[in-house]
Structure 1
Amino acid sequence: MTYQSTRLRLVEISLDDQDDIHHLHSFPEVDEFNTLGIPRNIDETKEYLTPLIQAQKVTPRKSYFWKIELLETFAFIGIAGMTLSLDRFKRGEIYYKLLPNCWGKGYATELGKLLIGVGFNEFSLHRIEAGVATDNIKSIRVLEKMGMRREGLHRKILPIRGEWKDNYHYAIVEDDLNGN
């Protein structure tokens, strides 16, 4: 299951990607708003990835996890995922992380629009959601550029380095694309 945009390609992860994903999670700036924490070693990264890879075989499938590559060079630049609700709710939640040297180049917005397109067109979702720490100004801007709307605040929901942090809740529904 591969998807692409103008500059990016989403490819399902495998254990072959563990070194790249470990490297991504090792940056303090990537970890700033991450609930995982920086992995102590590659085995911790493998432990994190194993259930995500096993989820590829579950039917009906509710979880997708991709590496993000530059379309031109196939260079790894980050990860993205989508978790689906029960079928009757037609809802998905997206998330992503990029290497810091890829920030500020429009990749996150392009990626988000790709994920939204996949959600609505491939998975027939009605609603796509994302959460973001209230202090994560860069990601808030990206979610809004994607066309998502802030719908609320989840107080003290994110466990980050021993503290409970607040989280904004964003969403886009298929009607938003039609201007309704």
Structure 2
Amino acid sequence: MQLETDRLVLQELSWSDLDNIHAFHSIPDVAKFNTIGIPKDIGITKNIIKGAIEDQSNNPRSVYGWIVRLKHDNSFIGETGMSSSNDRFKRGEIHYHLSPVFWKQGFGTEIAQRLIKFGFEDLHLHRIEAGVATNNIGSIRVLEKSGMIREGLRRGILPIRGKWCDNYMYAILEGDYIQK
């Protein structure tokens, strides 16, 4: 499964992406707000992407993962994903990580908006959520530009570098999306 935006191609994860994903997750700025931190070895990275790759053969699926590439030259710039509840709650949760070289260029918003479209139009979800560390200003901007609304604060929920951090919860409902 491949998703596209004006500037990006989201290609479904495969085992051939393991080295790129491992190197990417080893960048300190990428791992700054990531609860997994910098993976100690490639085996940890393999376990991180394993669920998304193995779920590709399931029907219905509940885990989706993509690498993100620039459309014009196929450069790897990050990874993204979505999990869905596959139950009566029709809920999904998105995440995205970009190489710092590509921050502040609108790519995060482009990815989030495409995932929201996929969730509502293809998966027929009712609600799409995202959590974000309260001091991750860039990601907060991405979620708000994507039409998501801050619904609350979850205190001390994120284990980041040995410290429990607070998290804002964002969401968008299908009715919010349809009204756009």
- The TM-score normalised by the length of structure 2 is 0.95
Correspondence list, 1:60-139, <5 A = 60-139=60-139
Question: What secondary structure, in the 3-state scheme, does the structure 2 residue paired with 1:18 have?
Answer: helix
Secondary structure, aligned partner of 2:97: strand
Distance verdict in 2 for CA 1:175–1:14, change over 3 Å:
same
- The answer for the alignment partner of 1:163 in structure 2 is 163
Residue by residue, what CA displacement relative to the aligned partner does 1:16-35 show, whole Å, maximum 9, x if unpaired? 00111111111111111100
| Residue 48 of structure 1, CA deviation | 2.2
Residue 147 of structure 1, CA deviation: 0.6
> What letter matches 1:114 in structure 2?
R
Aligned-residue CA RMSD (Å): 1.3
Residue 154 of structure 2 corresponds to: 154
**Which sits farther off after the overlay, 4-13 or 49-58?**
49-58
Distance 2:166 2:173 in 1: 23
1:143 has 2:143 as partner: yes
| 1:19 matched to 2:19 | yes
1:46 corresponds to 2:41: no
Deviation at 1:59, TM superposition (A): 2.8
In 2, Cα distance between the equivalents of 1:159 and 1:100? 22
Unaligned runs of 5+ in 1: none
Q: Is the 8 A contact 2:60 2:86 kept in 1?
A: no
Deviation by residue 1:57-88 (Cα, 9 ceiling, x = unmatched) = 22321110111111111111111101001331
Tell me what 2:5 maps to.
Answer: 5
Identity of aligned residues (%): 53
Report the residue type matching 1:91 in the other structure: R
Separation (CA, whole Å) in 2 of partners of 1:157 and 1:9: 32
